[in-house]
Amino acid sequence: MNRRYRKTIIAGNWKMNKSPSEARELIDALKPLIAKAKWCEVVLCVPFVDIAIAQRLLKDSRITVGAQNMHHEPSGAYTGEVSAAMLKDIGVKYVILGHSERRAYCGETDALVNKKALLALQTGLRPIVCVGESLEQRDQELTLDVITLQVKAALAGVPVEKLRQVVFAYEPIWAIGTGRTATAEQAAEVGTSIRATIRKLYGARAARSVTIQYGGSMNPGNAVELLAQLDVDGGLIGGAALKAADFAAIIQAANQ
Ligand code: PEP
């Protein structure tokens, strides 16, 4: 983390878990545990149907509510979809884009993620853009090449004045939901490489303002070491975000 130049952001990704009544239980349990977190921004990226209740329950807290996806077109005949403008209108600030599960199960490509990122920024939402390599790509030592391509594709057409609104989440696919975490060195290496790519595109000053998270089985046991890395400015947390005590412990790790 480098708190001087950029925000530390701990974001929970609830995925397709928690009905509104279960969301209430989890938030009620979480709120008192994180009352003192002051150094980092905390975001809960909840299912669409939980956004309203989460906002209501969190309105007097420092926790922000985010979404997990949005459509790439501004509006129109896209049955079942949710637009960036709709999210903005209800006060959502962050939206996860290009999560590896959406890339794998919904066929999201780098080009589509770029379209969504441009629309999110234009609408006033902060995209949390997920990038990450497969185990096969890591074994073939292709990690940095793959990530560089994903970062460049996501940022195509993003003007420098919008860059600091973009958050990257480095999420190695082999570490998501598997209990297998990247080592702190692996997370740091990729974080530093992402920043170097951004620096080449936008210059050093702009690059140092971008928050780069790590995600992939982050938990209370590994958070301190991961978050101590210079280019790991927070976490995107799946499984552990569903347990109030674990999520609060990760937030505490980010506040040390
Ligand atoms: C995620 O879904 O973004 C994630 C990092 O999940 P987990 O923490 O469960 O690996």
Q: Is residue 250 part of a domain?
A: yes
Q: Is residue 3 part of a domain?
A: no
99 is annotated as an active-site residue: yes
Q: Is residue 2 part of a domain?
A: no
Q: Is residue 127 part of a domain?
A: yes
Nearest CA owner, ligand 1 atom 7: 238
User: What pLDDT is attached to residue 28?
Assistant: 97
The finding on whether 47 has its CB within 6 A of some atom of ligand 1 is no
Q: Is residue 4 part of a domain?
A: no
Task: State the pLDDT confidence band at 2, using cuts at 50, 70 and 90.
Answer: confident
CATH number of the domain where residue 17 is located: 3.20.20.70
The finding on whether 216 has its CB within 6 A of some atom of ligand 1 is yes
**Residue-range definition of the domain harbouring residue 177:** 9-254
User: What pLDDT is attached to residue 181?
Assistant: 87
User: What pLDDT is attached to residue 190?
Assistant: 98
User: What pLDDT is attached to residue 152?
Assistant: 98
Summarised one tens digit per residue, pLDDT across range 134-172 is 999 999 999 999 999 999 999 999 999 999 999 999 999
* Number of domains the chain is built from: 1
- pLDDT over threshold 70, residue 4: yes
Q: Among candidates 98, 110, 91, 93, which has minimal Cα distance to 156?
A: 110
Q: Tell me if the pTM is above 0.85.
A: yes
171 is annotated as an active-site residue: yes
User: What pLDDT is attached to residue 15?
Assistant: 98
User: What pLDDT is attached to residue 37?
Assistant: 65
Summarised one tens digit per residue, pLDDT across range 19-54 is 999 999 999 999 999 866 677 999 999 999 999 999
Q: Is residue 154 part of a domain?
A: yes
User: What pLDDT is attached to residue 180?
Assistant: 85
Q: Mean pLDDT, to the nearest integer, of 221-230?
A: 96
Catalytic pick among 41, 101, 108, 171:
171
Q: Is residue 61 part of a domain?
A: yes
User: What pLDDT is attached to residue 1?
Assistant: 77
Task: State the pLDDT confidence band at 86, using cuts at 50, 70 and 90.
Answer: very high
The finding on whether 13 has its CB within 6 A of some atom of ligand 1 is yes
- pLDDT over threshold 70, residue 66: yes
Average pLDDT, the chain: 96
Distance 182 CA to ligand 1 centre (A): 12
Q: Is residue 179 part of a domain?
A: yes
Summarised one tens digit per residue, pLDDT across range 113-123 is 999 999 999 99
